[in-house]
Amino acid sequence: MSVTGLSATLPPAGLPGLDPSLSRLVDVDGTGMDAGRRRTWHVLDTGPALAERGITPAGTIVAVHGNPTWSYLWRALVGASLARAESDGAAWRVVAVDQLEMGFSERTEVRRTLAQRIADLAGLVDALGIRTPIVTIGHDWGGPVSLGWAVQHRERLAAVIALNTAVHHAEGAPLPFALRVATARGMLAAGTTGTTAFLDTTLALADLDPAVRAAFRAPYATAGRRRGIGGFVADIPATAADESTPALRSMAEGLRTLDVPALLLRGPKDPVFGEEHLDDLVARLPHADVHRFEGAGHLVAEERPYADAVLDWLAENVVAGAAPAGSAADDAPDGPAPAPLWEALSARRDDDDVAVIDMATRVDGAPLRVSWRQLATRVEEIAAGLDTLGVRAGDRVSLLVPPGPTLTAVLYACLRIGAIVVVADRGLGIRGLSRAVRGAVPDVVIGEVAGLAAARTLGWPGRRISAASLPAATGRALGVEASLAEVARAGRGRAVPAPPPVDADAAVLFTSGSTGPAKGVVYTHRQLSSLRDALAAHFAVGPDTGLVTGFAPFALLGPALGTRSATPDMDVSAPRTLTAAAVAAAVRASDARIVFLSPAAVRNVVATAGALTAADRTALEGVRTFLSTGAPVGTPLLRRAQELMPNATAHTPYGMTECLLVADVTLPGIQDAAASDDRGVCVGTPIGQGGVRISALDSEGRATGAPTTQAGITGEVVISAPHLKRGYFRLFLTDREARRDLDAFEGRWHRTGDVGHLDADGRLWIEGRLPHVITTADGPVTPVGVEQDLEAVPGVVRAAAVGVGPVGRQVVVAVVEREPGVRRAAVASPGLTEVARAATAQTLAAVLVVPTLPTDIRHNSKIDRSRLAAWAERMLAGERPTAP
């Protein structure tokens, strides 16, 4: 029997994005505590619309909202499924429900627990007569309801999808703060039913259009119609004694044996469901594809284009039956297993020669030196000690330790026991670093005091281990359970566990964040070993080579290469702090034949060369190979750097976090290439077994062409190599885009986001980044060639070419740094404008001058063209903004 005045109704007309013809009321026989009654549901159902068009769906998506939303949450999925129905070979029916007591469904006198809601959903599915395979999708507390139905009806299930939700609450752990407030005595009824506080707070979690916000509020205009909101909150199973805890636990355990395709989509900025909830879901559904929409929050369906992602995923994984990105098919072994990364270290465990030198750490006035014996022993002790503390293979360990002997020992110890190292350096800035660490959900954080303090203050997950021994009070304040010295003592004399499989995940390395939020790049042990082998073979690294590394990603490879390595005295998070004298000192201390620097470091090394002593210059004369990677290095700068190392061959390898070595070119090779008419930066030919192709650009600057090795085609650079990453950490959609249209090629391939071309000799030329392509009325323009023209103008230190205006009709604007510099940004003088326009064949709409061009914070060298373009557009509109 319905409660008077609270029966089911159809939504009012005019709600934005909602087709009223898809609304229907469905009478359903009650189940469980509702047995013997008829209940009326409101649903959005595309089934009748598909039938009218003569389309038979491949399956049905049952979409279940949470609290306090309603089926309106799924309107984008409803609309997208209909839009695709006539064009796709496999259409999906969507049934988006209003749970009883919610939305425009009936309000009743029954208290609905989780078990009852699962039974309610089963009754509705039966009443609708759905015979096709079913995919469930749920959000918030609709997650446990939909997944509860899925676990109980496996025979009818095709796949499961979940947005921000949780299926487990740890015993004794407090509820999220927002829910503690909502469930507090005296607050529950007032905040959820008596007033719109809970509803208002939830809707405030996203930047909603006022009309959309009003649509979400429409079913909840009175206290009587809001009773379901309060009932949902009251039913949250926070303790073992709560009525819905058994149902939640049963469902959560049932997920462990659910073997259908699974997709987990998440907005990380969620105050209710944290990263630990996603981590728990992944542990229960380890085969799931996962994507975190960085910057989105609890109402991710309102903030990101999830609907197309869902339908694409279903087409690939359920209808077509193709292996999902990141699945076992993608991770198939690439041939015979290479030697593990720690093999050379183990082989020299009885060697008292120097393995690692830390120039920034002094012992009795001399740089810290660690022998192979000491390093191998320390690695084994820490590995066994971590195992003793319960760190297991597959656990993620965030390393907040600067490059040097300590980081080297910890990293190899983690790799040795199969723990997955998470490396996100301080160059990301505190916000970027926090986003990266929290997103990786580490089980353990090992760090210096500054890193541990940040972990404590910013609420990073994971147990805490300090790199150095701390006073007891400091350790307690930081939540530290042990120091590395204590870990090593705990492991002394104990056996190290068996090594991990070669194709197990080994590391998550975060990108620079220079082209968007930093992404976690996943490497397996096989891929890291392949990187070592490619580096050793290409640059002829042997036991006596010696390596000076002023570039953090390669600072840890010395022990893997079996050669001594030295880190110069510098702030590794700020490469431009490296001086020429510091490089010379590191070379002299290690007798190194190879020097590896970042572009920003090279610039400052050249700038400080005047401080070199005769002994410094003599040491640098012993260098045979000089490498700089991470961003393009201009030929004049490279030539000046080589003058400091006159007997070295200068190389500028091209790579990225996803594949640290792709191609290589020497200074003589660059000078030879300069005689051609090619535009951009020549980065040479592929290294080892690597491959390069080009996907041509269309008129809107998109890489839509079939990847080719044909010379002279400008487009996105597509690469392959044995040491190419496995994928991105919990970024399924990013992985998918990086592999778009590459299935036809043998091996694993990756779209880099870089733009360039191949010349007739097979050399790769980089012309910029895909997001920075300028789409003019005459076709796409890549920025680097224009910038090179402008940087040849006397007095111009650096230049950037950016696009202003709508896609397809953009104009090219030049932004330059001058020497001597300017104090504030401005439109260039008529004289400079005239000279700049004469220097390039590309038409320039305007020339602007700035005190300094904005760069990324990690490399201090990649120009932030996206930021510049937005600033230039405001500048030319007359806003006179401050410098970019």
Structure confidence by residue, pLDDT tens digits, 338-363: 999 999 999 999 999 999 999 988 88
User: In the structure, how many helices (H) and strands (E) does the chain have?
Assistant: 31, 36
Q: From its phi and psi, is residue 630 left (phi > 0), alpha (psi between -120 and 50) or beta?
A: left
> Six-digit token pair at 295?
């910057």
Distances (CA, A) of 778 to 437, 700, 805: 44, 11, 14
CA distance 7 to 519: 49
Dihedral of CA 754/759/764/766: which sign?
A: negative
Q: Domain locations in the chain?
A: 23-172+244-319, 343-573, 577-652, 655-724+741-770, 773-876
pLDDT of residue 38: 94
Class of domain 343-573: alpha beta
Average of pLDDT values for 428-445? 87
- Predicted confidence at residue 5, as pLDDT, reads 47
Class of residue 784 by CB neighbours under 10 A (exposed 0-12, middle 13-18, buried 19+): buried
Decide if pLDDT at 609 tops 90. Answer: yes
Between residues 515 and 834, the one the model is more confident about: 834
Q: At what angle do helices 114-127 and 142-152 cross, to 10 degrees?
A: 60
Residue 732: per-residue pLDDT: 95
For residues 719 and 142, give the distance between their C-alpha atoms in angstroms, rounded to a whole number: 41
Q: How confident is the model at residue 187 (pLDDT cuts 50, 70, 90)?
A: low
Over the stretch 222-266, which tens digit does the pLDDT of each residue have? 999 999 999 999 888 878 888 999 999 999 999 999 999 999 999
Query: What stretch of H or E contains 177?
Result: helix 177-183
Q: Is 390 exposed, middle or buried (0-12, 13-18, 19+ CB in 10 A)?
A: exposed
The Cα–Cα gap between 569 and 346 comes to: 28
**Mean predicted confidence (pLDDT) in 505-531:** 89
Measured distance CA(517)–CA(508) in Å, rounded: 15
End-to-end CA distance of the chain: 65
What is the token pair recorded at 417? 């026991």
* Distance of alpha carbon 484 from alpha carbon 481, whole angstroms: 10
Residue 32 has pLDDT above 90, yes or no: no
- pLDDT of 216 > 80? The answer is yes
- The answer on pLDDT for 274 being more than 70 is yes
Question: Domain 773-876 sits in which CATH superfamily?
Answer: ANL, C-terminal domain (3.30.300.30)
For residue 379, what pLDDT is reported? 97
pLDDT of residue 600: 82
pLDDT value of position 466: 97
CB-based contacts of 617, cutoff 8 Å, min separation 6: 584, 644
- Residue identified by tokens 């994005």 is 17
Report which of residues 527 and 570 the model is more confident about. 527
- 23-172+244-319 to CATH, choices 3.30.70.1290, 3.40.640.10, 3.30.470.20, 3.40.50.1820: 3.40.50.1820
Rounded Cα gap, residues 160 and 90, in angstroms: 18
pLDDT given for residue 434 in this prediction: 87
Please state, in angstroms and rounded to a whole number, the distance separating the CA atoms of residues 358 and 369.
Answer: 7
Give me the mean pLDDT over the 112-132 stretch.
96
Residue 606, CA distances (Å) to 584, 610, 629, 845 in order: 12, 8, 16, 35
713-746 pLDDT tens trace: 999 999 999 999 999 999 999 999 999 999 888 8
Return the CATH superfamily for domain 655-724+741-770: Luciferase; Domain 3 (2.30.38.10)
Model confidence at 332: pLDDT above 60: no
The reply to whether domains 655-724+741-770 and 773-876 share a CATH topology is no
Percent of the chain's residues with pLDDT above 90: 77
Contact 622, 593 (CB under 8 A): yes
pLDDT, tens only, 611-625: 999 999 999 999 999
Mean pLDDT, the chain, whole residue set: 91
Phi and psi at 370, nearest 5°, equal: -125, 130
Please answer whether residues 404 and 358 qualify as being in contact, where contact means their C-beta atoms are separated by less than 8 angstroms: yes
Q: Which pLDDT band holds residue 328 (cuts at 50, 70, 90)?
A: very low
CATH of 577-652, one of 3.30.70.3270, 3.40.50.980, 3.40.50.300, 3.40.109.10: 3.40.50.980
CB of 782 closer than 8 Å to CB of 755: yes
Inform me whether the pLDDT recorded for 418 exceeds 60. Answer: yes
Instruction: Say how far apart CA 169 and CA 261 lie, in whole Å.
Output: 24
pLDDT at 324 over 50: no
Q: What pLDDT, on the 0 to 100 scale, is given for residue 425?
A: 73
Mean pLDDT of the region 45-71: 95
- 859 pLDDT exceeds 90? no
pLDDT score of 3: 42
d(CA 128, CA 57): 15
- The stretch 193-217 carries a mean pLDDT of 95
Supply the DSSP string of 378-399, one letter for each residue. HHHHHHHHHHHTT--TT-EEEE
Q: Do 135 and 61 contact (CB within 8 A), yes or no?
A: yes
